Amino acid sequence: MIKVELAERLRHLPPYLFAEIDRLKQEQLRKGVDVIDLSIGDPDMPTPGHIVDALKKAAQEPKNHRYPSYEGMPAFRQAVADWYKRRFGVSLDAQTEVLSLIGSKEGIGHIPLAFAGPGDAVLYSSPGYPVYPVSALFAGAEGYPMPLLEKNGFLPDLESIPADVLKRAKLMFVNYPNNPTSAVAGKGFFRKVVDFAGRHNIIVCHDAAYSEIYYNGKRPESYLETPGAKQAGIEFHSLSKTYNMTGWRIGFAVGNRDVIAGLGKIKTNLDSGVFQAVQEAGITALETGDGELSGIRETYQQRRDALYSGLRRLGFQVMKPEATFYLWASCPAEYRNDSRAFAKLLLEKAGIVATPGVGFGAAGEGYIRFALTVPVSRTEEAVERIGKSL
């Protein structure tokens, strides 16, 4: 019998803070509790039919059954460039400034391998998507969290990063519209980021996974709309959240050609790209009219309004999201230092699963994240149950 030993990098993974909530949820389900799960960052609505039809058709084509190229079909990359032009007014060269990804998580997870290693630092906003620090760790680099504080509008305070960290910093992850806080950033912030990155020679990786989940017609901006942005970095994007395609695994990176080429080099050595039939469906998705998407947005907006007004009525301090399908609320005063205990209370007393903020990083302590991925009627019932449990 061999002795199976994990590599150093896996032994240094941060503790999985959602484990207890997962366990308690299973326990409630076993007891027959009608659990309402507001912890899931995965749309409950199906992929629009015309996209599924495009996949069916493309799946029948034998030419699509072979290895795809790692960088993506020219037609898919062109569809991405066309979409960026239409949506953001940003021009991209489909050949050199667009790279397909097997979901944006894949690109985020791999990019530090191309640009950072032992002795280097990777800056990332926190609370945030857990893949940012893990990708730094796997590359052997040091992850440096940039706290997102309410008093700063949940934007990182770039000037507070110590000089010795900046000297070693190679890459920075930022994400707006933001998961988990739902904050949005405008040109002013992106201009600061471009200027800062230029001064310190740091590659900007902006994660725009939620740019199309927005409310009241207020469309979030792309990082690449800011002058000089392309000189300083790239943007990660995904079809997952926009078109309810999380299971399909297709996303892309766009922007600075040298950064795209570096990430591409990792990919040529590791994978063979996205199944071509999925890329064909992705082209169809990117051509989806705004009518279809406004229906999806309308559904989230009704849920947002129900949950936001309900939580306010119950006395919660909560951000009204202008984008994303999350609500970020302060825990009641007695749980400001223990969001996990509050999540546990909601689960045991109300049968509600929500995500404790600390699971997204230390600066998320004292908050709780609710996802808008259940219908309005369930959302309303959740509010009622939370009210009774307090």
Ligand X SMILES: *Cc1c(COP(=O)(O)O)cnc(C)c1O
Q: 186 burial class (0-12, 13-18, 19+ CB within 10 angstroms)?
A: middle
* Angle at the Cα of 244 from the Cα atoms of 256 and 94, rounded to 5 degrees: 25
Nearest-Å Rg of the Cα atoms of the chain is 21
Interactions with ligand X, residue window 164-203 (CB under 6 A): 175, 179
What does DSSP assign to residue 67? Answer: P
Q: Which stretch binds ligand X (CB under 6 A): 77-85, 233-241, 310-318, 346-354?
A: 233-241
How buried is 3 (Cβ within 10 angstroms: 0-12 exposed, 13-18 middle, 19+ buried)?
A: exposed
Assess 64 for contact with ligand X (CB under 6 A).
no
Q: Quick check: 326 binds ligand X (CB under 6 A)?
A: no
Per CB under 6 A, the segment of 28-36, 90-98, 234-242, 262-270 that binds ligand X is 234-242
Pairwise CA distance, residues 86 & 293, whole Å? 15
Residue 160, C-beta contacts closer than 8 angstroms, at least 6 positions apart:
none
Q: Is 246 in the site for ligand X (CB under 6 A)?
A: yes
Q: Is 5 exposed, middle or buried (0-12, 13-18, 19+ CB in 10 A)?
A: exposed
- Is 238 a residue that touches ligand X (CB under 6 A)? yes
Part of the chain binding ligand X (CB under 6 A), chosen from 71-79, 80-88, 236-244, 252-260: 236-244
Q: What does residue 200 show for φ and ψ, rounded to 5 degrees?
A: -110, 5
d(CA 136, CA 13): 11
Residue 41 as a binder of ligand X (CB under 6 A): the answer is yes
Which residues have a Cβ under 8 Å from the Cβ of 280 and sit 6 or more positions away? 54, 55, 57, 58, 64, 75, 76
CA nearest to 352, candidates 305, 320, 389 = 389
Is it true that the peptide bond before 127 is cis, omega within 30 degrees of 0? yes
Stretch that binds ligand X, among 16-24, 91-99, 101-109, 268-276 (CB under 6 A): 101-109
Q: Applying CB under 6 A, what is the total number of residues that bind ligand X?
A: 14
Smallest CA-to-CA distance from 263 within 168, 171, 179 is with 171
CB of 249 to ligand X, least distance (A): 7
Which CB atom, from 246 or from 389, has the smaller least distance to ligand X?
Answer: 246
Q: Which of 161, 209, 283, 319 binds ligand X (CB under 6 A)?
A: 209
Stretch that binds ligand X, among 8-16, 103-111, 296-304, 342-350 (CB under 6 A): 103-111
Minimum distance from residue 220 beta carbon to ligand X (Å): 13
* Neighbouring residues of 383: CB distance < 8 A, sequence distance ≥ 6: 306, 307, 310, 311, 313, 314
**103 near ligand X, judged by CB under 6 A:** yes
| Residue with Cβ nearer ligand X (248 or 335) | 248
Shortest separation between residue 175's beta carbon and ligand X, angstroms: 5
**129 binding ligand X? (CB under 6 A):** yes
Joined together, the tokens standing for residue 119 give 């002795």
Q: Which helix (H) or strand (E) holds 123?
A: strand 121-126
CB of 104 or CB of 373, closer to ligand X: 104
Q: Which is nearer to ligand X, 322 or 348 (CB)?
A: 322
Does position 212 interact with ligand X (CB under 6 A)? The reply is no
From candidates 64, 100, 104, 355, binder to ligand X by CB under 6 A: 104
Q: Select from 133, 251, 351, 366 the one that contacts ligand X (CB under 6 A).
A: 251
Per-residue binder mask for ligand X (CB under 6 A), 333-362, x = binder: ------------------------------
Least distance (Å) from ligand X to the CB of residue 162?
Answer: 26
User: Quick one: 107 or 310, whose CB is closer to ligand X?
Assistant: 107
**297 near ligand X, judged by CB under 6 A:** no
Q: Examine residue 105 and tell whether it contacts ligand X (CB under 6 A).
A: yes
Least separation in angstroms between CB 104 and ligand X: 4
> Where does residue 140 fall: left (phi above 0), alpha (psi -120 to 50 degrees), or beta otherwise?
left
Q: Give the N- to C-terminal CA distance of the chain in Å, as an integer.
A: 53
Q: How far is the CB of 5 from ligand X (least distance, A)?
A: 30
What is d(CA 23, CA 75) in angstroms, rounded to the nearest whole number? 45
Binding site for ligand X (CB under 6 A): 41, 103-105, 129, 175, 179, 207, 209, 238, 240-241, 246, 251
